[in-house]
Amino acid sequence: MWQQTVVVWGWEIAFGQLVVVVSFAALLLGYLLAMAINRRQRESTGRDTFEDKERMTSNMAFISGINYILSGKTDQAIEELTRAVSVDTDTVETYVALANLFRARGDIDRAIRIRQTIILRKKLDAQVRRQARFDLGLDYRKGGFYDRAVQTFEELVRDEPKRVEPYLQLIEIFEETRDWSKAFEMEQKVARLTGSRAGNVQAHLQVEMGKEVFEKGNLNQARSHFKKALSLDPACVDAYLHLGDLLLGEGKLKKAVSTWRKVAAVAPDMAFLTFGRLARVSPEAKDLKAAVQFLAETAVQDRNPMAHLTLARLLERQGDHDGAIEHLETALERDPSLYEARRELGTLLLSLDRREAALNAYRDFLEHLTAPEVVFQCGHCGYESRELAWRCPHCSRWDTMTLQRHRPLLFDPREAPAVPTVPADPPSEDAADEEPPSGEI
């Protein structure tokens, strides 16, 4: 999978790992400074104690472990850091690094036990303790213990109401568990804290709330959510689409078409999302003329082959076969790879017993048999899918999926890693509750 990389100290490191590298670099610098001070003290006294030698062994093991981390050798890093803490059990930084490595490897049970050991230390700096609690929340989240992760981050929010990171973790958990109302509440709090409003994200959360009540038949409440979404983000395509669906379900085709028109206005590349909805409209529907007019205008103004295809389907269902053929041929002129138009043109010609024309259409089809995939790609992480998602299934960013028409799919989206990554054998809830033994890794 594609992802951005940067070069740090001669290593090529993925963008998502940069924060981890910087953290370990800071720890490494701190250790080097401590070693230098300790060496100066030993030189002034002129003697090496047993404790000095033990500390030096621990320090060297720590530095070796950091080097393995930067080289991407997790198992060797764990071995060296374990050796470091076996010599010097008072070094919190080494335990932190070790717990992070266990979490990254999927050994959540050990990561949790180490983190709990750190938190229970009596003489621990308050900021270090808060960070350990935050990391424990991350451990719970990766292990699939969402209730405990939420409880941990909510406690941090109460203790540090101006710290943004716990809110962001809660938002992601609520989105993953489809608790849209709580995610929206957290988004509002983050907006107040940072002074910047992610209107598009809040709009999507309102739409998701609207979809849920819409499926339950509560149209008025759904309408309220969709309109709230549009007040937060007037360019929210998903809100226009579902508000139009609601209006169509109420038999208000003209208002539905008027709503869908706004999709073409705010996001012309997404106008095709309205075409499938229009194609399912009954030929006997009241105000069908409004749908035909919208499609005709879109087809001409945007030279959109999908609009011609949808218009052809409507005309065919109305019995206007010649008009349907004309629009299918126009669609193929503008996009020869539109195999759906070729299929429908051939089927229609055969049904009308126009065999010569059908044979010509088939010959033309053979010339364009290798049609490219129609895919969507995330502009943030590069994830690709054959289906549009407003929230990237891989990196969880909103509004980053864009249409990529004329190139093959790089990998099957069904093979993409799940988000969040959960270990194959997550620890039991009871294991996470166990009293952590002092100093045990």
Taking only the tens place, the pLDDT of each residue in 378-409 is: 999 999 998 899 999 999 999 999 988 644 33
pLDDT at 347: 85
Q: Is residue 222 part of a domain?
A: yes
**Dihedral of alpha carbons 302, 308, 314, 320, sign:** positive
Q: Which residues pair with 95 in a beta bridge?
A: none
pLDDT at 33: 45
Q: Residue 273 falls within a domain, yes or no?
A: no
37 within some domain: no
C-alpha 289/C-alpha 236 separation (Å) is 26
- Residue 336's pLDDT is 83
Q: Is residue 238 part of a domain?
A: yes
Task: Return the pLDDT at 234.
Answer: 96
- Residue 286 has a pLDDT of 79
Whether the predicted pLDDT of 55 surpasses 90: no
- Does pLDDT of 40 surpass 50? no
Average pLDDT, the chain: 77
Give the helix ranges, DSSP H, for 71-179.
74-87, 92-105, 108-119, 126-142, 146-159, 164-176
pTM: 0.70
* Whole-number percent of the chain with pLDDT over 70: 69
Residue 428 φ/ψ, nearest 5 degrees: -75, 160
Question: Tokens standing for 385?
Answer: 């899918």
- Condensed to tens digits (0 to 9), the pLDDT of residues 208-224 reads 999 999 999 999 999 99
Evaluate if residue 362 carries a pLDDT over 50: yes
What are the two backbone dihedrals, phi and then psi, of residue 77, each rounded to the nearest 5 degrees? Answer: -65, -45
- Cα separation, 294 vs 256, in Å, equals 11
**Interatomic CA distance for residues 121 and 397, integer angstroms:** 37
CA distance 39 to 229: 63
pLDDT at 259: 97
In a domain? residue 231: yes
Q: Taking residues 112-125, what's their average pLDDT?
A: 84
Residue 176 burial (CB count, 10 A):
15
In a domain, 85, yes or no: no
Instruction: List the structure tokens of 219.
Output: 């149209």
Does 32 reside within a domain?
A: no
Confidence of residue 124 (pLDDT cuts 50, 70, 90): confident
CA distances (Å), 109 to each of 101, 156, 184, 278, 287, in order? 12, 22, 31, 53, 62
Q: Which residues contact 67 (CB under 8 A, 6 or more apart)?
A: none
Q: What mean pLDDT do residues 24-31 have? A: 50
Range of the domain at 233: 199-250
User: What pLDDT does residue 64 have?
Assistant: 58
* Domain membership flag for residue 213: yes
CA quadruple 6, 11, 17, 23: dihedral, nearest 10: -110
Confidence of residue 370 (pLDDT cuts 50, 70, 90): low
- Based on the structure, what is the number of domains in the chain? 1
- What pLDDT is attached to residue 97? 78
